[in-house]
Amino acid sequence: MTVAREELLIAAIADLIAAPHPHPARHAAVGAASPIPAHAVMLARHRGLDVRLSLLQQRVGNPFTEGARELFDLAGQGRIDLFFLGGVQIDGQANINLIGTGQPAGSSARLPGNFGSAFMAFTVPRVILFREEHSPRVLVPKVDYVSAPGVSPPGVFRRGSPQALVTGRCVFTFDAPRARFVLASLHPGETRESVREATGFDYDEPDAVPETRGPSESDRAALAGPIRAALEDTYPQFCARVFGARAA
Amino acid sequence: MTVPLDSLDALAARVPDGAFVALPPDNSLCPVALVRALIRRGVRDLSVLGVPISGFATDLLIGAGCVASLTTSAVTLGEAGLAPRFTAAMKAGALHLTDATCPAVHTALQAAEKGVPFMPLRGMIGTDLLPQRPEWKVIDNPFADAPDPIVLIPALAPDLALIHAAMADRFGNVWVGRRRELATIAHAARATLVTAERIVEGNLMEDERLAPGVISSLYVSAVAVAERGAWPLGLLDLYGADAAHIDAYAKAARTDEGFRAYLAEHVLGPLPKAAE
């Protein structure tokens, strides 16, 4: 059985969630339209990590009794350890743009908006950036609009910086003190050259760059079984696409 | 004070042209039947506040020409993708949009419900959002030992909060279940108009198990019954979103003609229920 691209990304993010980090991921929250990160948190749990997932969009049994307001209050207090952000553009300093490209930003095509990014990037100690499209138009030298900055000057309150950026081609970790990405692993089929060519910003490349570790058979069984069952009500279209139609 | 039980159209008539109205997001008791009634009544020049984001209901209002300005943190149809009439209006320069970020919207309402002029909020410093919002001021935290810049968000009191509740009683108490963030909108707004799936006998505030999920009649100006009033959106554990319908809308509304046909069929045209 071939591993679906989504399964590979889920496994890669699950590895990052479990990676040693000064801020252990005890409580992860997932916002709107993030099925791959949500599945990754559930997979990390399945592999034994003691992490709680709060799913903002969950309709039945929603984890909050004060909706999104409670999510942001929790984050403000530092009670959410891990969150996921993406962007129409992401630059080499881990700045993200959720508004759109052009000058003024959004003039070429207007995207939905900032959501909570301008707050979560500061209050949540661990952020994993995720964007499937890996091309020079997404990974740019400098974003046209900063929805959330990757780093901040000393004296500006923030609990952490992005831990990593996961794309459809590779995993970059983020070196916050230097505000630079480091190529950490290549997805199957990619090379150092193919990634360099598809990336609009400069980054570091260590001597050894392994292949991204995909999901194990146990991971895949869990994803198609209990994890799907837990997330299907929230992400019906994603689950049907990746794991196939439900047997009648 | 008695809270009147209106027809849906009478409830819609209570929303004047030019009103500043707050709407919950698609996944949290959004009053779509009331929005359809507003479009039928031809409401104009609304200022809409998305608490904290906007979706299907706001896209309908924009497409029908009811919205002059929108303050929100995002407009999206979720898994169905971009909100087509919002996207088209932005392209045409036909909508005055004020960008926000979700917790700033909640904070502005929390300040209003406390009756204080502003509340501080972390984050946003160094974003391109902050200079877009000159009314958000950065001060130095007066309680910190070292310099600590922090943003102040002014209070925001909408004219009207519009919500769809799972049930209401004859006293005007309305039950929103665990979606208690709706209470913050009602507390902050000058008045709240509510549609409800059904009217129940008795007094919701006298039931110890239900009262925590109630917005009391103190805040509610009028109620109308709207069965399946969130459709095609979902409502708590009562019914899920009609994903096929929202997908079909997302495709149809990419063009002006497609949107007009959608409006004619599902909003202006033959009504699906006698109640609407």
pLDDT band at A31 (very low <50, low <70, confident <90, very high): confident
Closest by Cβ to B181, choosing from A66, A157, A238? A66
A66: distance to nearest CA of chain B, Å?
Answer: 5
A129: distance to nearest CA of chain B, Å?
Answer: 17
The pLDDT value recorded for residue B52 is 97
When pLDDT is averaged across residues A116-145 and rounded to a whole number, the result is 98
Query: Is residue A211 predicted with pLDDT exceeding 80?
Result: yes
A210: distance to nearest CA of chain B, Å?
Answer: 34
Contact yes or no for A69/A56 (Cβ under 8 A):
no
Query: Is residue A236 predicted with pLDDT exceeding 90?
Result: no
Query: Is residue B1 predicted with pLDDT exceeding 80?
Result: no
Contact yes or no for A242/A4 (Cβ under 8 A):
yes
Contact A105 B180 (CB under 8 A): no
Q: Which residues of A touch B25 (CB under 8 A)?
A: 68
ipTM of the complex: 0.95
When pLDDT is averaged across residues B242-250 and rounded to a whole number, the result is 96
Contact A121 B123 (CB under 8 A): yes
Q: Which residues of A touch B150 (CB under 8 A)?
A: 157
The pLDDT value recorded for residue A237 is 85
- Note the Cα B205 to chain centre separation in Å: 24
A235: distance to nearest CA of chain B, Å?
Answer: 8
The pLDDT value recorded for residue A178 is 97
Nearest CA in chain A to B97: A113
End-to-end CA distance of chain B: 27
The pLDDT value recorded for residue A18 is 97
A113: distance to nearest CA of chain B, Å?
Answer: 4
When pLDDT is averaged across residues B104-115 and rounded to a whole number, the result is 98
Closest by Cβ to B125, choosing from A67, A156, A236? A156
Query: Is residue B271 predicted with pLDDT exceeding 80?
Result: no
Query: Is residue A247 predicted with pLDDT exceeding 80?
Result: no
State whether residue A179 is helix, strand or coil. coil
Contact A60 B123 (CB under 8 A): no
Q: Which CATH superfamily is domain B5-101+159-268 in?
A: Glutaconate Coenzyme A-transferase (3.40.1080.10)
Chain B residues 21-50 with CB within 8 Å of chain A: 25, 27-28
CA torsion sign, B200 to B206 to B211 to B215?
positive
Q: Which residues of A touch B62 (CB under 8 A)?
A: none
B32: distance to nearest CA of chain A, Å?
Answer: 17
pLDDT digits (tens, 9 = 90+) for B126-142: 999 999 999 999 999 99
Chain A residues 43-62 with CB within 8 Å of chain B: 57, 59-62
Contact yes or no for B129/B99 (Cβ under 8 A):
yes
Average predicted confidence (pLDDT) for chain B: 96
Pick from B128, B130, B148, B163 the residue to mutate for testing the A interface (most A CBs within 10 Å): B128
Q: Which residues neighbour A239 within 8 Å (Cβ) at sequence distance 6 or greater?
A: A35, A228, A231, A232
Query: Is residue B255 predicted with pLDDT exceeding 80?
Result: yes
pLDDT band at B166 (very low <50, low <70, confident <90, very high): very high
pLDDT digits (tens, 9 = 90+) for A55-86: 998 888 899 999 999 999 999 999 999 999 99
- Note the Cα A177 to chain centre separation in Å: 20
The pLDDT value recorded for residue A26 is 97
Closest by Cβ to B127, choosing from A66, A118, A155? A118
Report which secondary-structure segment, H or E, holds B235. none
Which residue matches tokens 């909003």? B267
Pick from B106, B130, B136, B151 the residue to mutate for testing the A interface (most A CBs within 10 Å): B106
Domains belonging to chain A, first-starting first, are: 5-243 (3.40.1080.10)
pLDDT band at A121 (very low <50, low <70, confident <90, very high): very high
Q: Could you give the percent of chain A with pLDDT greater than 70?
A: 98
B91: distance to nearest CA of chain A, Å?
Answer: 7
Nearest CA in chain A to B90: A110
Q: Which residues of B touch A234 (CB under 8 A)?
A: none
The pLDDT value recorded for residue B274 is 47
When pLDDT is averaged across residues B84-102 and rounded to a whole number, the result is 97
B38: its two tokens: 């507003």
A15: its two tokens: 């590895």
Query: Is residue B270 predicted with pLDDT exceeding 80?
Result: no
Q: Which residues of A touch B83 (CB under 8 A)?
A: 112
pLDDT band at A51 (very low <50, low <70, confident <90, very high): very high
* B75 lies within 8 A of chain A by CB: yes
The pLDDT value recorded for residue A248 is 41
Q: Which amino acid is at A65?
A: T
Closest by Cβ to A32, choosing from B78, B83, B90? B78
Provide the CB-side half-sphere exposure for A184 (13 A, CA): 19
pLDDT digits (tens, 9 = 90+) for B48-86: 999 999 999 999 999 999 999 999 999 999 889 999 999
When pLDDT is averaged across residues B144-173 and rounded to a whole number, the result is 98
B57: its two tokens: 């209901």
pLDDT digits (tens, 9 = 90+) for A157-199: 999 999 999 999 999 999 999 999 999 999 999 999 999 999 9
Alpha carbon distance A93, B192 (integer Å): 45
When pLDDT is averaged across residues B90-116 and rounded to a whole number, the result is 97
Report which secondary-structure segment, H or E, holds A73. helix A67-77
Q: In 3D, which of B237, B239, B245 has the Cα closest to residue B272?
A: B245
A71, A129, A160, A220, B214 from A157: Cα distances, Å: 19, 20, 9, 40, 37
Domain extents in chain B: 5-101+159-268, 118-154
Contact yes or no for B166/B28 (Cβ under 8 A):
no
Sheet holding A162-167, edge to edge: A52-55, A27-30, A82-85, A126-131, A162-167, A170-175, A180-186
Nearest CA in chain A to B54: A112
Query: Is residue B149 predicted with pLDDT exceeding 80?
Result: yes
Size of interface A-B (CB pairs under 8 A): 151
* B248 lies within 8 A of chain A by CB: no
The pLDDT value recorded for residue B269 is 83
